[in-house]
Structure 1
């Protein structure tokens, strides 16, 4: 039987500079081994690209279904060094679906609703943000890809525990650079973009974040991106369903949930005649019920009725349209 040999100091030093161990968990936090994640190249799909970012729920909403919104980004030290005093914002979509642009005043903007160039949306956005923090005013980046240099993720450039302060807009007038007049071409572009916006707004209340009300024409919905891990959130939702407490009050109906980039998103149909502000109190009450249900999971086991409720929720697959 062969004996294990100790590594020489030279071997240890070489290992320390060789990069992540292919057999160890990937630094991105996906839970996969490095060789099966970022160590395999840009084609690997990362299912939870915004992991460990407090901004994750709103970043996902801005990518998937919020039509027009802006939010300032809180840059970490690495981002600040690139920016040299420049500010940055994330946008739902930029003119021509660009990956990034720099306003005349030097402000950097990156777009969420862009064509994905790698399997990791965070890498695409990180590259776009790095470009925007150093590009000249007036420049525009059509797409972000490997041509922009070594991979950099949003997690490398942003403060992890900083949430987004999202401002939802009713149109795309913010596309215009402040102090400039729209050309006939831009006016036409704005009119086309504005014509397809579905009324959308945040449900604002204490303890309520990332809950978005939308009027699709035939119906109105509230889609609430939850930060909790699915293995915690599902049994808590099931506990409320078993108690018939999963609605948002009168005029609402829980219709199911969908998964988006690592998070579970419960969805309710709501009375479209009610203003979004009228859902603030019901949403706050639900947030309190859900918080209590999450806490109770640590001391009270899941019942048979709650297991059946959980299966019912899993069976209600909601499709984004």
Structure 2
């Protein structure tokens, strides 16, 4: 009748091996920094640049403790998704990438290591992966933590090549290919008192606003639930709450928008929603039954990027 398969080894290794693999995965998750940019005035924009903004740059204000040999520009992504490079020229500048090919457990430490690398590298050099070390400098140690980012949003990647320089055919083809895939984006300017970083993008059939918020995730979810239950979870006519996602320790509400309207046409509605949300965050009363149902529904549509 043949041997019973009940005690036969199962695919994927024995139990001890599976437990070891699970333990290693848990240790790696524990080592990852949950909220890497916490404490920085530019936290919300840093999260946006790292996760979904296609093309933007900002010259960083370095900390006085950093012996700055050259200026440093933070960019969404650099050619080849390298961690950093030093552009050749009469006045070489350092560039560091937010979206990189090789990612460590602490993005703030990686970007800090890349910034420091640009100060000693030779013009024309590039850094494939940042070499941060445990206990070493983090981003708050090498830039002014109280400074916002003075962003320049680009609708192409022509800035990859210095002005007046003719790229070789391969580089030109890469830039053109990237340009064809880029989606028009804009940072909504809601004024100095605005909370978080609202980013608009034209995705074709729909436009979206992804609003990176600095509040505690649980507190923000409760506020969204209150607005949902009261019918205030929207950005005016032509908008619809699409859901939210979690990344780098922050919660990001997302709204679908009428693509026929330009980004600037949503500024008024965004200000009104921001005021409603701030008021809802300030409420500390327990949720009503309807608000609890709204919270459970919103959580069921939430995803986690990292």
Indicate conservation of the 8 Å contact 1:42/1:118, yes or no.
no
Give the one of 92, 112, 124 matched to 1:126: 112
The two structures have a TM-score, normalised by structure 1, of: 0.79
1:285 Cα shift? 0.6
Task: Measure, in 2, the Cα distance between the counterparts of 1:256 and 1:186.
Answer: 38
- Give 2:155's match in structure 1, choosing from 170, 175, 179: 170
**CA distance in structure 2 between the partners assigned to 1:200 and 1:160 by the alignment:** 26
The answer to whether the 8 Å contact 2:34/2:248 transfers is: yes
* 3-state SS in 2 of match to 1:77: coil
Give the Cα–Cα distance (whole angstroms) in 2 for the partners of residues 279 and 186 of structure 1.
36
**Residue number in structure 1 paired with 2:14:** none
The equivalent residue for 1:56 is: 43
The answer to whether the 8 Å contact 1:43/1:119 transfers is no
Checking the alignment, whether the CA contact within 8 Å between 1:101 and 1:110 is kept in structure 2 is yes
TM superposition shift of 1:260: 0.8
1:231: how far off?
2.3
Cα deviation digits, residues 145-196 of structure 1 (max 9, x gap): 25x8983211211222222222210000111123422222221121111111
Aligned to 2:216: 229
User: Displacement, 1:313?
Assistant: 1.4
What's the counterpart of residue 229 of structure 2? 242
- Give the structure 1 partner of residue 76 of structure 2: 92
Deviation at 1:42, TM superposition (A): 11
SS in 1 for 2:35: coil
1:295 and 1:168 map into 2 onto residues whose CA distance is 32
Closer/same/farther in 2, CA of residues 210 and 65 from structure 1, 3 Å limit: same
The offset of 1:43, in angstroms, is: 8.8
1:158 aligns with 2:143: yes
Residues of 2 paired with 1:126 and 1:275: CA distance? 36
> Secondary structure in 2 aligned to 1:254?
strand
SS in 1 for 2:183: coil
Is 2:93 the counterpart of 1:107? Answer: yes
Alpha carbons 1:219, 1:270 under 8 Å: kept = yes
Match of 1:212 in 2: 199
The equivalent residue for 2:55 is 68
The alignment covers a number of residue pairs equal to 275
**1:272-311 map, 5 Å:** 272-297=259-284, 300-311=285-296
Contact 2:246 2:302 in 1 (8 A): no
What RMSD, in angstroms, separates the aligned Cα atoms of the two structures?
A: 2.2
Name the SS for the 1:177 alignment partner.
coil
8 Å Cα contact 1:210/1:225 also seen in 2: yes
Cα distance in structure 2, aligned partners of 1:149 and 1:46:
11
Which blocks of at least 5 consecutive residues in structure 2 are unaligned?
1-26
**Does the 8 Å contact 1:123/1:151 carry over to 2?**
yes
The answer (yes or no) to whether the contact 1:46–1:119 under 8 Å persists in 2 is: yes
Query: What SS does the aligned partner of 1:78 have?
Result: coil
Distance in 1 of aligned mates of 2:257 and 2:102: 33
Structure 2 SS opposite 1:221? strand
Aligned counterpart in structure 2 of residue 263 of structure 1, from 238, 245, 250: 250
Deviation for aligned residue 1:301? 3.6
Contact (CA 8 Å) 2:188, 2:267: kept in 1 or not? yes
